[in-house]
Amino acid sequence: MKLPVKIRGWLADRYEIGVVEKFVEQQAHKPLPQETGFWHTFGSLSLFLFINQVITGILLMIYYRPTTETAFESVRFIMTKANFGWLIRGLHAWGATLMIVCVLIHMIRTFFMGAYKKPREMTWVMGVLIFGCTVTFGFTGYLLPWNQLSYWATTVGTEITSVIPIVGVHLRTLLRGGEGVTGETLARFYVMHVVVLPWVLTGLIAVHLFLMRVQGLATMERIGEEKPIDKSKAVPFFPNHVMKEGVILCLLVGALMALIVLFPVELGEKADPFVTPEGIKPEWYFLSTYQLLKYLPKLLGILVSMIPPLLLLLWPFLDRSPERHPKKRPVAVGIGIAALFLAIVFGVLGHISERKMTFFGQKYEIDIYGVPHKHSDKTPHRGKLPR
């Protein structure tokens, strides 16, 4: 008798294994709506990347030391001395970026296909919380190498909170563990990054997946007019959809490896609390908010930048139309496209600002607002003349 059969027999003698087998069988062969395609694979990809983050994060923790004296050196040790350390850190850093990309694409797909509508409002809310948790992971993880960019990006990022009336300064103190960004901040961010957030995100993902499996995937039919899935036209979860996920997963792993090799994650210089380098910027997913804050007074900027996440969270309760098809939801789709467009425009402005660029042989200095000024050696290097 083969070993797996023996093990199954051993378990069946002791536990109601048939119940578990029936459940797995049902889940594996659950029919999916006809519309289920490649765009539906980004949820699974996000989950795969989360698992990648957990595994590589545990491996990084073996050598990482979260103190101001040792953090930078320990990351340098990982990258230069530990066997395949460069690969583990690359998988973790680029995996984080790709995870945010996948979660974003998954949310965009859900939004434009109207899949957040009744009865799946809470699945959407859990998804938005997962997105929030993912970017918080990025923010807390960014400080851990304790280099100049991470130190000053964290200083600016946490300073922004201080403009919130009444609680702002206290919130900043709580986040930093004191007045400035110090070893206390590093310890707090480390605990958040490796203990609190992983468990919170695991819980959110578990509820999200549970709701998704219980309610099934949304079709394109109007609310209240959904027909039972026609099994002759349905897409079986296994093997059809799983194969699609496998194909996209292979492409993702390829892209991940290519990014690690072609654009290796740099370490830069060790954090110096007394010298701010020029042109510090946050990670790409905060660039649009960062740029927006430059145009507005601090308090107004904070209030305006809180609108998009709040809108995202409450959107299923604001959009009451029964239609799901994007062509029948011009307002919602218009708002969605406008929001994406603004995010990209502000993000690009944030990226090009405070840089020197050459267009058709002419040198330009892009000022903090993203406005190009012709460069000459006589003009101030900041690009904008003071009053």
Partner 1 sequence: MNQEKTVTRRGFLDWLLGAGLGAWAFGFVAPVISYVWPAQRRGPSIQTVSAGKAEEFPEWHSKIVAVSGHPVIVVHTPQGFRAFSAICTHLGCIVQWDAGRRQIVCPCHAGFFDINGKVISGPPPKPLPEHGVAVVNNEVLVKSS
Q: Which of 76, 109, 298, 373 binds partner 1 (CB under 8 A)?
A: 298
Q: Which of 1, 262, 275, 318 binds partner 1 (CB under 8 A)?
A: 275
- For partner 1, the closer of residues 177 and 308 by Cβ is 177
Q: Which of 207, 249, 280, 352 binds partner 1 (CB under 8 A)?
A: 280
Q: Which of 123, 150, 155, 219 binds partner 1 (CB under 8 A)?
A: 155
Alpha-carbon distance of 298 to 306, in angstroms, equals 12
Q: Which of 132, 177, 322, 336 binds partner 1 (CB under 8 A)?
A: 177
Q: Measured from the CB of residue 344, what is the shortest distance to partner 1 in angstroms?
A: 22
Residue range at the interface with partner 1 (CB under 8 A); choices 20-28, 119-127, 142-150, 269-277: 269-277
| Residue 274 interacting with partner 1 (CB under 8 A) | yes
Q: Kindly identify the residues of this chain, within the stretch 325-354, that bind partner 1 according to CB under 8 A.
A: 354
Residue range at the interface with partner 1 (CB under 8 A); choices 133-141, 246-254, 270-278, 303-311: 270-278
Q: Which of 8, 29, 356, 382 binds partner 1 (CB under 8 A)?
A: 382
Residue range at the interface with partner 1 (CB under 8 A); choices 99-107, 127-135, 155-163, 228-236: 155-163
Q: Which of 314, 367, 373, 375 binds partner 1 (CB under 8 A)?
A: 367
Largest CA distance in the chain: 87
| Residue 147 interacting with partner 1 (CB under 8 A) | no
Q: Among 91, 67, 69, 68, which Cα is nearest to 79's? A: 91
| Residue 370 interacting with partner 1 (CB under 8 A) | no
| Residue 273 interacting with partner 1 (CB under 8 A) | yes
**Residues whose CB is less than 8 angstroms from the CB of residue 56 and which lie 6 or more positions away in sequence, other chains included:** 88, 89, 91, 92, 95
Q: Kindly identify the residues of this chain, within the stretch 182-201, that bind partner 1 according to CB under 8 A.
A: 184
Q: Which of 94, 152, 237, 285 binds partner 1 (CB under 8 A)?
A: 152
Residue range at the interface with partner 1 (CB under 8 A); choices 42-50, 122-130, 277-285, 320-328: 277-285
Question: 3-state SS of the chain?
Answer: CCHHHHHHHHHHHHCCHHHHHHHHHHHHCCEECCCCCHHHHHHHHHHHHHHHHHHHHHHHHHHCCCCCCCHHHHHHHHHHCCCCHHHHHHHHHHHHHHHHHHHHHHHHHHHHCCCCCCCCHHHHHHHHHHHHHHHHHHHHHHHCCCEHHHHHHHHHHHHHHHHCCCCHHHHHHHHHCCCCCCHHHHHHHHHHHHHHHHHHHHHHHHHHHHHHHHHCCCCCCCCCCCCCCCCCCCEEHHHHHHHHHHHHHHHHHHHHHHHHHHCCCCCCCECCCCCCCCCCCCCHHHHHHHHHHHHCCHHHHHHHHCHHHHHHHHHHHHCCCCCCCHHHCHHHHHHHHHHHHHHHHHHHHHHHCCEEEEECCEEEEECCCCCEEECCCCCCCCCCCCC
Q: Which of 54, 82, 129, 160 binds partner 1 (CB under 8 A)?
A: 160
Q: Which of 178, 264, 309, 322 binds partner 1 (CB under 8 A)?
A: 178
| Residue 368 interacting with partner 1 (CB under 8 A) | yes
- For partner 1, the closer of residues 85 and 350 by Cβ is 350
* Residues that bind partner 1 in the complex, under the rule CB under 8 A: 152, 155-156, 159-160, 173-174, 176-178, 180, 184, 273-280, 294, 298, 354, 367-368, 380, 382-387
